[in-house]
Amino acid sequence: MEIKSKVPLFISLLLVLISCGGGGGSSDTSRSEDNGQPIDDGTNNPGLSGKITFLEDNRLYSLDAETGQLSSVPNTNWREQYDRFRYPAVTKFSSINVEHNGTEYLGVGREVERSYVFSQDFSGNVLWQFNLLGEILGGKLSQDLQYVALFRRLGSVSSTPWLELYSTTGQLLEDRQYDSRQIKFLRDNRLLYSNGRTFHFTKPGSLEEDYYLTLPPPEEGTVSSGLIGDKTISPDETQIAFTVAESGGNALIGAKQSRLYIMNMDGSGLRLLATAPNDVDPTIVQPKWSPDGRWILVLAGNYPGAGDNAESLGYRYLIPTTDPGKVYYVGTYDSERSPEVRLFIHQNINTSEYSGRGGSNVFNWVP
């Protein structure tokens, strides 16, 4: 792991990683020929807390994490709100949760020439809103609810977007041209974002880079080849879990061959956390840490046994985080899946049925 800084304090800092296990594990990954679809045994998800939110048809929905029961979030019929938006029927809306905060969320609406930025609570109240020219590609609201970080593109689709820092009143505080879209706010208002195989950390309340962590080269054997994909931060901000995506894989769920890794926030303790049976063509995406820090929810598919029944969209799994050094396997069949890995059973938005099926929706987990 390479760690560098733009300030003197970090110039001489050298980080040495010791791999805690990469492809090992004694789990039985032999395939069962007579085992079919995972079946809901009626217990759903005992011991889980918080809620899972996701977008469907430009509206926000919520799942109770323990029961898996579905409900709609009030006042998210944005495409019918002509008093707030110029052309709501053709505006594309998205919602972005605040890290480890279940009280309010950031909303973004994108038209052809302008974008809307707003915040609502889960009771439906609009807390603030401002408009910007251009296309917003991603964003985050800080945990203290004072700052908004946005990736905004002002030119053609080939132009490099701007990373911008705003107050919640819409005042631009700082901007830098940078081509990265996945950003996280830490508690002290530092930003964490990634580009290629590098994690970047800014100074508190600023876009100025403080230091960065670069993954070791693939030939060292700790991390596979490919780029940093999705990431999630533990509630106590001591660890980060992230995917590394390679070429190939299942395009239907927006992923390439992708494994899940975990490390401490200072870059130490880097290791493989989850992969597919026999480590063949794994596709693990969208990691989300539970509010109590005990689980990471993922969407996984494109491994042996996932094809016919999973419709290439995989399943939602809960990966434990409390056993340091263990590598877990996700798989459609019980014999392929690590016994500690649980299916996340939830209600389907189009039916009253409960299952562990995946889908194209991005799930977010908040208290």
Residue range 51-68, pLDDT digits in tens: 999 999 999 999 999 999
Residue 15 has pLDDT above 50, yes or no: no
pLDDT, tens digit, for every residue of 107-142?
A: 999 998 899 999 999 999 999 999 999 999 889 999
Give the pLDDT score at 1.
60
Q: Where are the domains of the chain?
A: 18-73+219-367, 75-181
Dihedral over alpha carbons 115, 121, 125, 128 (to 10 degrees): -40
Query: How crowded is the C-beta side of 46, counted as CA atoms within 13 Å?
Result: 4
Residue 336 has pLDDT above 60, yes or no: yes
Beta bridge partners of 174: 165
**Nearest 5°: phi and psi at 107?**
-115, 145
Beta bridge partners of 2: 214
Q: Which of 336, 279, 287, 274 is nearest to 310 (CA)?
A: 336
Q: Taking residues 181-200, report their average pLDDT.
A: 91
The answer to whether 282 and 261 are in contact (CB under 8 A) is no
pLDDT, tens digit, for every residue of 250-271?
A: 444 444 688 999 999 999 999 9
Q: Which of 337, 333, 339, 357 is nearest to 347 (CA)?
A: 357
The helix (run of H) or strand (run of E) holding residue 80 is none
Model pTM score = 0.83
